[in-house]
Chains A and B, each alone.
Chain A
Amino acid sequence: MSEPRTLLAIDNVSKNFGRVRAVDGVSLDIRENEFFALLGPSGCGKTTLLRMLAGFETPSDGRILLDGKDIARTPPNKRPVNLMFQSYALFPHMSVRANVSYGLEMERLPAKEIRARVDAILATTELGPFADRKPEQLSGGQKQRVALARALVKRPRLLLLDEPLGALDKKLRGAMQLELKRLQHEVGITFVIVTHDQEESLVMADRMAVLKDGRLLQCDTPHAVYEHPADRFVADFIGVMNFVPGKAGRDGVVASNGTRIAGKVPDTLGSDTSAVASVRPERIRLFPSPETANRTTGTVEALAYQGLDLQLHIRTPLSPKPFLVRVTADAADRRPVSSGDEVELGWDAADVRIFKE
């Protein structure tokens, strides 16, 4: 497989608003045809970064290279980049067709071509029957598709999506996640999506960047970010993680009660410094075999069935917060546990990630 081509290079970009540094020296490469997610809690700078890509903000520092050309100071109407707004920002006085045609009219294309391209995108997004409706007569999901069609019809090099599914209810959101992914595949346009929903980016993105306080913490595939988080924040933010605080030892972390959690200690962590050992809920087994590297006992405080699996809250002497353990319903049937039970739990050293506290 050949190395994918870089479409957009964000090169050491910063943005200050007065004394606030909203984006702080972020460098990222976004590749041709990829579905890229910018993820982070609110106020992390992801929206500011997106607005700089769209042209609504100018970086205080750094370059934004699209196909190798710096577009940091190009006005929004002169970039081959389109943004799908979080509020959709559909023109309320125009029909669906007029909304979608607008961008092509700005390119001064012949009326016939505009009509053909608009018809095609309305068909792709299944909006044909609603072409003459006004935005106020559409449901949330339909509005979202109009916003998408309006941006896609321009055939941008890069499509930016600001929390595109935020306004939809949970069930519709799940369907639209897959729909967006299918569409992206179909049109062959690079998508950059901004979201605060880590589950959404895990499902949709080819690669994702995690931001916090304007800084880039990690940029990798969802799998890599989930399995090998760059730091404690990422580990906590993406998915669910159990943390055991303690001091870094030679090959593990010594918890406050003296128990040693075996795992690979990063080279950057000096001996005896504050550290946390962490493990994902699905990596923990109940009633482990005696040779399991890490073992402890705990009391089951609560159980929650979640269809395929069972989630347990288990109080252990290792950490102030109860451990979250996820076992398959199958395993739970074989050896049932109930609230108040004393259980043994264990996990492998390979599943332990150790971070600086």
Chain B
Amino acid sequence: MSQTRFRSSLLMAPALLWLTALMVVPCALVLALAFFRRGIYGGIDYTFTLENFGLVFNPLYAGIFLKSARIAGTATLIAVVVGYAAAYAIAAAPRRWQPVFLFFAVLPFWSNYLIRTYAWIVLLNREGLVTQLLRWFGYTGEPPSMLYTEGAVIAGLVYNYLPFVVLACYAPLSRLNPELAEASRDLGASAMTTFRRVILPLTVPGIAAGAVFVFVLSIGNFVTPALLGGGRFQMIGNLVYDQFLTANDWPFGAALAMALIAIMLLVLMAQALAADRAAGRAAQTTGGGDG
């Protein structure tokens, strides 16, 4: 027993060291930074203060948090609906075609994130592909302004994180016994009721995992809003970036980063708690054994 424990801690050591050196220590440094003042010429004045955290709740910055949450939330909602539908279709396809469809769904992942995001600029700019396509269909008015809008940012986020949702939802959908849906139909349920009462509840864990992924990655994102939202479009990620690299206010940037991490942790913890409760409910009712 103790030997296996020793062996397992030995196996875990490299990962733990890695995490400590590259995650915990830097995070602790950033956290510490948040409690100091900004120096007059941009450096750090090592006197303790809570001002930076106070500033986070300033309506100006709190507004950016809310906006980021709204954009991430919208992107998550769209990604979940589109991704679930795609995963459903793939899981319903003939078995031997499923890996092929999955491969295509995940294909964008194999190219660089920046290049993928630049591709959207090519699509959405005033004389871009979308405008040309509209012209081809006989549209003659002003080219629509799509790039550098909130919509473009959401589109970029959805596009980039959709594969996560497809994969996360495909797993439970493909494992679902097709006879469950048949049983529901056999017992008198319509196709819609079958989806609502049998298929959806059994695939919620996949949806939750995919949604958390999209939300957490979206709310802290700074590349997509910078490229597709234009220079003045700000999400928290951009704000943090600006504090560190433009405004040279590292302590405030650190406080913002900490607030962002806190939000992400809250979302992840909520998901873990919900999953735990679901598992606990199953475990609680177990134990009677056979009668």
Contact = CB atoms under 8 A, between A and B. Distances in A.
A137 B286 contact: yes
Contacts of A226: none
A137 B282 CA distance: 9
Interface string A76-100: 1100001101010111110000000
Given A139-B290, A150-B187, 12 more contacts: A77-B187, A87-B179, A91-B180, A92-B202, A93-B201, A102-B189, A102-B197, A103-B188, A106-B187, A106-B189, A136-B282, A142-B290
Interface of A: 54-56, 75-77, 82-83, 85, 87, 89-93, 102-103, 106-107, 129-130, 132-134, 136-137, 139, 142, 150-151, 154
Given A87-B177, A89-B180, A129-B291, A82 B285 contact: no
Given A77-B188, A142-B290, A89 B193 contact: no
A106 B188 contact: yes
A280 B183 CA distance: 42
A89 B186 CA distance: 11
A55 B177 CA distance: 18
Interface string B6-17: 000000000000
Interface in B181-240: 182-190, 193, 197-198, 201-202
A287 to B, nearest CB: 51
A102 B180 CA distance: 12
19 contacts: A56-B185, A76-B185, A77-B185, A77-B186, A77-B189, A83-B186, A85-B179, A85-B182, A87-B177, A87-B179, A89-B179, A91-B183, A91-B198, A102-B197, A134-B282, A136-B282, A137-B286, A142-B290, A154-B188
Nearest to B189: A106
Contacts of B290: 139, 142
A132 B190 CA distance: 26
A136 B284 CA distance: 13
B186 A54 contact: yes
A220 to B, nearest CB: 29
The size class of the interface chain B forms with chain A is 20 to 34
Given A87-B179, A89-B182, A91-B198, A102 B187 contact: yes
Chain A CB count within 10 A is highest, among B180, B188, B282, B285, for B188
B285 A154 contact: no
A133 B282 contact: no
Given A93-B201, A106-B193, A130-B291, A75 B185 contact: yes
A133 B177 CA distance: 20
Q: DSSP class of B's interface residues: helix, strand, loop or mixed?
A: helix
Contacts of A130: 291
Contacts of A106: 187-189, 193
B188 A89 contact: no
A206 to B, nearest CB: 24
A54 B249 CA distance: 71
Contacts of A87: 177, 179
A76 B285 contact: no
A92 B183 CA distance: 12
Q: Nearest 8 A-B pairs (CB), nearest first? A: A106-B188, A103-B187, A89-B183, A89-B179, A76-B185, A139-B290, A77-B188, A85-B179
A93 B179 contact: no
Nearest to A85: B179
Contacts of A92: 180, 202
A107 B189 CA distance: 9
A82 B198 contact: no
B285 A102 contact: no
B202 A85 contact: no
A76 B182 contact: yes
Contacts of B190: 77
Nearest to A86: B179
Contacts of A107: 188
B124 to A, nearest CB: 42
B187 A134 contact: no
B107 to A, nearest CB: 31
B138 interface: no
Nearest to B179: A89
Contacts of B285: 132-134, 137
B198 A76 contact: no
Contacts of B193: 106
Interface string B276-289: 00000010011010
Nearest to B289: A137
B185 A133 contact: no
A150 B225 CA distance: 53
Nearest to A82: B186
